[in-house]
Structure formats: structure tokens, C-alpha cells
Structure 1
Amino acid sequence: MKESGMKVADVHDLRVHPADHWLDDLTEPATPAFNNVTQLAMNSFAGPARLLRRLYGFASTTPGKLFTVTVILTLALGAAGISMSNSSAARHSALDELLSTTEPMANSAHHLYTSLSLADTVATTGFVQAGVESADNRQRYNEAIDAASVAATQAVLGTSPEDQRIRDLVTFIQRELPVYTAMVEKAQSNHRAGNSVASSYMSNASSLMREQILPAAAELFQRASYKVNEQQQRLTTPQWVPLSGLLAALFFLFIAQWWLWRLTRRRFNRGFLAATIMLIIALSWAGGSNLATWAAGHQGFATASRPWDSLTASRIEAQQTRTSETLALVLRSSQQDMRVQFQSTVHSINSALGDYENALRDEDVPASNPGLIPQARAATERWTDAHDRLMEALSEGDYDHALTLATDATPGNKEVTTARAFADTDTALAQLIAEARVSMRSYLEQGLNAVTTVATAVLLLTIAAIIAVWLGIRPRLQEYL
């Protein structure tokens, strides 16, 4: 029994011997080496880290370097091409908006200003006419009021939420215009009835127009013109960021070719050389477009807009002087003040004509009818002569002759009157203003045409350059496969 018991003990000792612990069942440690967050992070980033190590290992090889340089060039060329394409497309859209919305809005403000001034001039002329107002004069007055109403509506069509002041000015004009027309109608009806109060009504109507409505129209015109100039100057500035992107891409391409030459001992790579040529073409095209847009839109537009501004100002001043000239028959205003105002108007007209003539001669501004300037000068001289005779008749007390000179616009009359001479002057100035506007729009259209094809051309050239780079690097990669 002892022997068997000893044997059992010996067996038990052998079973629990430390050398045999490897036969025991495996169990998890009571305290893990890493917590759950750490294990999750290791499981999440182990794969990407391993992939990055492999990519780094590949990039350190010669084929990997070739591939990496090609990818960098692709990204640089693609970013430069997309940037220039998007910028050119946005500029094209903005220039189109300037031509189709903002500039017409400014032109409507100009028509509003001149139509209001012309309506006051015609109304004053009809008031001082002897007897019943002529049908022709009445029609001109109604047409001027109608043109002003239409222009006021068109002047707000191109406005944005930032143009609240423009909307307020148009609202004010539209509210005051019926008041003015009502006062004119009262003046005309009392004048036909022979009531002396007619002069007071006409004077008040003209004061309302000159002191409130026309200043509001002048501010509206100035704001609209400023908006045109601001957008035009902003859109004709060079595209420095996209152009610098193309230059950077071209620089990277030169560096890559130098590196490839040092690596392979081959001086030229056909694909890289073709990509360089296409990128130079794209850069030259974009740079030439920017230069053409700047020259046509900035310098040319500024040159053409100067005579347009001066002609517009001189025409409005002439209309206001014509109103004062006519009211002198009724209000018996100071002839000395009238002469000073008239001389200032004539000087303004001659200066505006000189500006436009200089622009035609020096800056190569297109002109469809060069004979308009001599016509305007001749009409202004006739108006000056007629005005002197009008002032002379008033000073001598010859009211009937002065009335004929101020109101008779019959073409068959041998004597040139202020009414007919002013009508010829105003018509010539209006035609010159229209021609100057065509010149301004032609410069804007040149800028628009310059950027029309740039967006597509630059994008296609950069895509072709990317393809050429990959085709050029392909033989060099095959050498290591």
C-alpha cells in the first residue's frame, strides 16, 4: 500500500511541476496591457500606418520618386488651370452683367435726368407762347414726361439690395413728378383764362423741378455712373492669383525637367517639353487677355467716358439755361445774370465738344458720324446770336419780338430764333451723347470678347499638359519594371 501511495504522490508531483505549465489552459490576464480606447486606436490606425510605411518605402525608390513628381505636377497643373478657368468664367459673367444690367441702368438714369430737364424747358416755352399752346410743343412735353416715367422705372431694374439710396431717389422722383405736372397744368389753364396767378404756378413748378426733382435725378445719375465705373475698374484689373498659379506650375515643370535630366542623364523629355509649350501658350493667352481687357476696359473706357460725362453735363446745363432764358420773359430777371449763365453754358458746350474731338483724334475713339461736332458748334453759335438779339429786344422793351425769338421754332422763318437754335443744339448734343455711349460700350464689349474663350482654352491646355506629362514619364517608369 505504501508503495502504491508513493506512486500516486509521485504522479501528482509530476503533474504540478512548473515545467509542465505550458500544458495548462490559457486564460486572459486579470489586468490587460492596454485599455479599450488604446486598443481601438491601435486597431483603427494600424492599417493606415502600415499603408503609409509601404507608400513611403515605395516613394524612396526611383520609380516612386518618378511617380511622386508626376503626381505633384498633375496637382499643380490642374489647380492652376481650374483657378484660371473659374476666374475667367466669373469675369465673363460679371462683364456680361455690366453690359446687360448696370450700364443700361446708368443710361436710364441719364435719360431720366435729361427728360426731366427737357420737360421743364418745353413746359416753360409753351407757357410763354402767345395764345393757345401749340400742338407740337404739347406733344414734346408729353413725350418728355413719358420718357422720364419710363426711365425712372428702368433705373431700378438693375439695382441690388445695397442700392437702397438709388431706390429712394427714384421713389422721391416718382412721387414729386405728378405734383410738378399738376402745377404745370394749373399754370397752363390759368394762362389760357388770362389769370395772373398763372405765372406764380409756372414759377413754382419750375422751382420744384430745379430745386428738388432735378437734384435728386442728378444724384441718381452720379450714383449709377459711379457703380458702372466701380464694376468696370474691378473687372479689368489683372487676374494676379490665377496668373501666379500658372507661373508656379510652369516653374515646377522646369524644376521637374531639370531633376529628370539629372536622374536619367537625358536632356529633353518629349512629354515634359510638350507640356511646357502648352503651359506657355495658356499663360500667354491668359496674360494677353488680361492685358487686352485692361487696355480696352480701363484706359479706353476712361477715355470714352470723359466726353460722355462732359457732353451730358453740358446738355443738361443748356436745358436749364434755356428754361431761364424763357422765364426771363415772364419774371423779368436780371439780364446780367442771364448773360453770365448763358456764357457759362456756351463755354461748357464748347469744352465738351473739344473733349470729344480730342478723344477722336488722340485716343482713336470710334465715331460713326464725325460731322456731328461741327453741327453742334454751328448750332451753338446760332443760339448765341439769337440769345444776344433776345436780350437786346428785352432791354429795348420790344416784348413781342422777344417773345417771337424765344418761342418760334418754325423752320420756314428766315430769322434764327433761340427756340430753333436751341432745338438744333440739343439734338446735336443728344446724338453726340448716344455716339459716345456706343464708344464706351464698344470698349466693354472688347473686354468681354477678350475673356470669352480664355476659360475653355486654358482648361483644355492644362488638361493636355497633364496628359503630356504622364506620357512623358511613362517610358522612364517602364525602365524600372
Structure 2
Amino acid sequence: MPAHPAIDVDRWMDHDEVPPTQARSFRGFLSVTKEAPRRFIRFASTTPGRLTIVSFILIVAILAAGGAMVFSSEQRREKLDTLISQTEPLSNASQELFNALSEADSIATTSFLKQNDSDVASREQFLRATQRASEAVIHAGHGIDEISSDDMQLVLAIQKNLPNYVQLVSTAQTNDRLRNPVGVAYLTQGSELMQQQMLPAAQQLHERTSRKVTDERQSLVTPLWFPLSGLIAAVGFLLLAQLWLAALTNRRLNLGYVVATVLMVFATLWASASAAVTWMGTDDASNNSATSLSKLTQVRIAVQQARTNEALGLVQRDYSDQRHQQFVNSVKTIDATLLDIRDDVANPRRVDNARESLRGWDNAHALMVADLRNGEYGNAIKTALGDYRLTPGARSSEYSTVNFKILDEQLQALISDNRSRLQTSLIDGSVAAGRITNLVLSLTILAAVSCFLGTRPRLQEFL
């Protein structure tokens, strides 16, 4: 049977017309975009919509407030750890460097006044002091990150001059053993290098590092006001939401919101109490320890320098009124500083012992000056360097060495005690910051979940 010809009316079915999808998609996107605000407004005007929006705002506010506190506390803990492990050890290394240099200069000078049987012991003491200074230079250099910084330049200057100083003192000691008078000139030159270049550089390094510790510590003990205000605001939002939801549903309390409010209140109180205790306790302890530590370091350096000048005057056999007045002024300054910090240190008895030794040294120094002015050089050296235990009937206040040693030992112990107090206060601050981080993070997550669970049953009532 022949095929029937296609009817022209149905030929449109043989052709696929491709619609302009790109244009229609763009128009559809515009229509959806225009419709979205209207749909949101219609949704927000309904009770389920308002519940959803309020719940979303509360959850975001809770997470934002808790996240800000967690982030700030963790950041503070990291900075405290850096202060404990890097900045404070650098300051301590500069303090040890300062002390070691002063001690080396004092030992080098007093060794010139001792007899031959003490030369070996004096040289060993000097070598130990210079070795401690070298180690302190290395420690200080390792604690500085920026090679081109001023701190590193000070360390390099000390490192450069230290071998020159040791060489001058060694040459002076060699000439002294040979009874060559030129040894005094080498000793004087070495002492001038120490007093005019090395000690000022060490003092400047110590002041800079101590100031850095103080500045960082003060910035880290201030309460976290902004995150705390966020927690308080989150509690306020929860209370307002409770009132609004009670008016909306004619129910007094929403268990989920109540739990969330209690959790956030506890988080706020915990963070506030920890911040207050850390601020008050750490601030007082750190301030007292840091201030006392700085003053004690300056006192110990002043003691070492006074001892050096005392011995240098004997070596040069030139103890003028001006040099004596410098010693008297140093004693007055040292005594006033010790009296000022007595109530701030952990062991005030050590300060009393140090002041008593200082008075004994001052009395012995006066006897030494009197012997010098009477032409009794041998008695003056005995007063400055002798041991009262070797002389029957002698008193410790008649000899400089024993009082100087006791004074230096007490100062060294006070410095160690105050550094331990400072480190303890910083560690306590780091531990407190870590506790805030962990607790606030947990409470914030639980509060957000409680808020969601408190809203969900109310939404289900409308389904």
C-alpha cells in the first residue's frame, strides 16, 4: 500500500525549536532575585519566620561572642608563652652579662692586690667570670631575632671588645707576676675599656630588654574588655528573647533558652573572674617582681663597680677625696634602694642582711682610707682583702672582702628569687588564659545547641 503523504498541518512536529534559554534563564534569575525579598518579608511576617530569625540571630550572637573570647584568650596565651620562653630569658641573659662583666672587672682589679699564693685562684675566678660573660653574650645573641636590630649591635660590640679586654688583663697579670710596673697601665686601660664601652653597652641592652618585658607584660594583663562585652551582650539578647518568646507563646519559660542563658552567664562570670584575678594578682606580683628585679640588678652592678674602684685606687696608690666621695655616694644610693624594695621582695630578711653587710663594708672602707692617709699601705691592703677569721680578735666589720662577698651573695639570691616570682606570675597568667579558652569554647557550643533545641519544638507546633 502506498504511503500516505504527510499532512502539512502536522509538519511542525518534525522540527525542534530551540528556545532562547540564555535570555529566559537571565529573566528567570532576575525574577527570582526580585521575588526573594518579598518572599523573605512574607516569611518574616509569620510566627515560624520570626522564631527562625530570632533563633538564628541568637545562635550567631552566642557563637560570635564565645569565638571572640576564645580567639583573644588563645592569642594572649601564645603571647605569654613567647614572653616566658623568649623575651624574659633574653632579659635575664642581659642581666647575667651585665653582672658577669662587672664581676670580671672587679676580680681582675683586686687580684693585683693579692699575694703570689692567691694568683692562681684569682686567675681561675677571672676566667670563670669571663666564661660566664661569653656564655651570656651567646645566650643574648640567640634570643634576638633581627640581626640588624640595635640589641644585636650592642651584643656584637660587647663580643668584639671582650677578647681585647681579656688580653689587656692577661698582659697586666703577666707583668704583675714579673713585678713589672707597666702592668698597672695595662690594668687601667682594660678597666677603662670595661667601664667606658662594655658596661654601658651591657647596661643599655639590659634596660632595653627589661623595658620590653615590662611593656609586653603590662599589655597582656589588661582584661579582655571587648570579648567580655560580647559575652554580656549575648546574655542580654537571650534575656530579651526569653521575654519575647514568653509573650508570643503564652509560656513563662523556654527550657532551651534558660539553659543557654545559664551557660552564657556562667561563661561570662568565669571569664570576668579569671580576668580580674589575673589582672590584680599578676599585675601586683609582676610589677613588684619586675621593678625589684631591675633595681636589684642595678644595685649589684653598683656594688661591683664600687669594689672595682676601691681596688683600682689601691693599685694606683691614688685614693683621692673625690674617689672616696664616690664610694660614699654609692653606698648611700645602694642602701636607699635596698630599703625602698624591702617590702616588695619575697624574703625581706635577705635585704636586712645585705644592708648590714653594706654597713660593715663602709666601716672597713673608712679604715682602709685612714690607713692610706697615714701611709700604712700594707694595712690598707689587708683591710681591703684580708680575712678577719685569720686574725685573732678581729671583727668582720674591719675587713672589706667578707662584707662584700656576703652583700653580693644576698643580692644574687634576691635576684634569683624575684626572677622566679616573675616567671611564676607569667606562667599563672598563661594557665588562666588556657582555662578560659577551653571552658568558654565548651559553654558557647552547648549554649548554641540549647538555643536551637529550645526553638525547634515551638516551630514544630506550626507544622
Query: Counterpart in 1 of 2:245?
Result: 260
Are 1:143 and 2:128 an aligned pair?
yes
Unaligned runs of 5+ in 2: 1-8
Where do 1:182-261 residues align within 5 Å?
182-261=167-246
Deviates most, 116-125 or 154-163: 154-163
Q: Which residue of 1 aligns with 2:309?
A: 324
> What's the CA shift string for 1:155-206, capped at 9, x where partnerless?
1333233871111111110110000000001101111112221111000000
| Pairwise CA distance, 1:83 | 1.1
Q: Which has the larger radius of gyration?
A: 1
Q: Residue 182 of structure 1 aligns to which amino acid in structure 2? A: Q
- Per-residue CA deviation, residues 120-173 of structure 1 (Å, 9 max, x unaligned), is 000000122233643322222111111111111111333233871111111110
Matched, 1:428 2:428: no
2:6: which partner in 1? none
> 1:364-420: CA deviations, max 9, x gaps?
xxx2x5532232122112111111111111111101111122223475444532122
Contact 1:296–1:444 under 8 Å retained in 2: no
Q: CA separation of 1:137/1:420 partners in 2, compared to 1, >3 Å: closer, same or farther?
A: farther
Whether the aligned pair in 2 keeps the contact of 1:92 and 1:452 (CA below 8 Å) is yes
8 Å contact kept, 1:411–1:420? no
Deviation at 1:251, TM superposition (A): 1.9
* C-alpha contact (below 8 Å) 1:180/1:205 kept by paired residues: yes
Match of 1:275 in 2: 260
Structure 1 residue 65: deviation in Å? 0.7
CA contact (8 A) 2:146 2:152 kept: no
2:298 and 2:273 map into 1 onto residues whose CA distance is 36
**Are the structure 2 counterparts of residues 411 and 150 from structure 1 closer, same or farther at C-alpha, using a change threshold of 3 Å?**
farther
Partner residue of 1:58? 43
Residue 299 (structure 2) aligns with: 314
Cα deviation, residue 249, structure 1: 1.4
Partner residue of 1:438 out of 420, 426, 435: 420
Q: Secondary structure at the match of 2:308?
A: helix
Task: State percent identity of aligned pairs.
Answer: 37
**Which secondary structure state, in structure 1, belongs to the residue aligned with residue 180 of structure 2?**
coil
Partner of 1:92: 77
Q: Residue in 1 aligned with 2:378?
A: 400
User: Any idea what SS the aligned residue of 1:134 has?
Assistant: helix
Retained in 2: the 8 A contact 1:292–1:447? Answer: no
Aligned with 2:142: secondary structure?
coil
- Measured in 1, the distance between the counterparts of 2:30 and 2:339 equals 78
Q: Residue 460 in 1 paired to residue 445 in 2?
A: no
Cα drift, residue 35 of structure 1: 12
> Are the counterparts in 2 of residues 95 and 235 from structure 1 also a CA contact under 8 Å?
yes
* Counterpart pick for 1:174 among 159, 169, 184: 159
Which segments of 5 or more consecutive residues in structure 1 lack a partner in the other structure?
Answer: 1-19, 361-366
- Distance in 1, matches of 2:304 and 2:188, equals 16
Q: Structure 1 residues 473, 40: CA separation in 2 closer, same or farther (over 3 Å shift)?
A: closer
SS in 2 for 1:156: helix
- Aligned counterparts of 1:480 and 1:160: Cα–Cα separation in 2: 64
The separation in 1 between residues aligned to 2:198 and 2:266, in whole angstroms, is: 55
Is the alpha carbon distance of 1:304 and 1:386 closer, same or farther for their aligned partners in structure 2, counting shifts above 3 Å?
same
Pair 100,388 (structure 1): closer, same or farther in 2 beyond 3 Å: same
1:390 partnered with 2:375? no
Number of the residue aligned with 1:356: 341
* 2:353 is equivalent to residue 375 of structure 1: yes
Indicate the residue corresponding to 1:9 in structure 2: none
1:305 to 290, 296, 302: 290
Q: Specify the code of the residue in structure 2 equivalent to 1:443.
A: S
SS in 2 for 1:237: coil
TM-score by length of 1: 0.87
In 2, Cα distance between equivalents of 1:132 and 1:358: 43
**Alpha-carbon distance in 2 for matches of 1:297, 1:152:** 30
Residue 3 of structure 1 is matched in structure 2 by: none
Shift of 1:107: 0.6
Letter in 1 for 2:365: H
Distance 1:173 1:27 in 2: 91
Equivalent AA in structure 2 for residue 330 of structure 1: V
For residue 452 of structure 2, what is the amino acid of its counterpart? W
Distance 2:27 2:229 in 1: 43
Structure-2 separation of matches of 1:401 and 1:346: 22
Change (3 A) 1:200 1:162: closer
Amino acid at match of 2:371: A
From the superposition, tell whether residues 27 and 138 of structure 1 become closer, same or farther in structure 2 (CA, over 3 Å): closer
How far apart, in 2, do the equivalents of 1:411 and 1:198 lie?
Answer: 31
Q: Distance in 2 between matches of 1:73 and 1:124?
A: 74
Over 3 Å counting, the alpha-carbon distance change for 1:352 and 1:435 in structure 2 is farther
Assess if the C-alpha contact under 8 Å between 1:238 and 1:290 holds in 2.
yes
Contact 2:214 2:290 in 1 (8 A): no
TM-score where L is the length of structure 2: 0.90
Secondary structure of the 2:434 match is coil
Deviates more, 1:457-466 or 1:411-420: 411-420
Answer whether contact 1:274 1:468 (CA < 8 A) is retained: yes
Distance 1:79 1:210 in 2: 58
Q: Over residues 288-329 of structure 1, what are the superposed CA-to-partner deviations in whole Å (9 max), with x where a residue is unaligned?
A: 222122213323211222222221111101110110100111
Alpha-carbon distance between aligned partners in 2 of 1:328 and 1:400, rounded to the nearest angstrom: 14
Q: Counterpart of 1:194 in 2: which secondary structure? A: coil
Write the distance in 2 (CA, Å) between the matches of 1:27 and 1:468: 57
Contact 1:233 1:297 (C-alpha < 8 Å) held by counterparts:
no
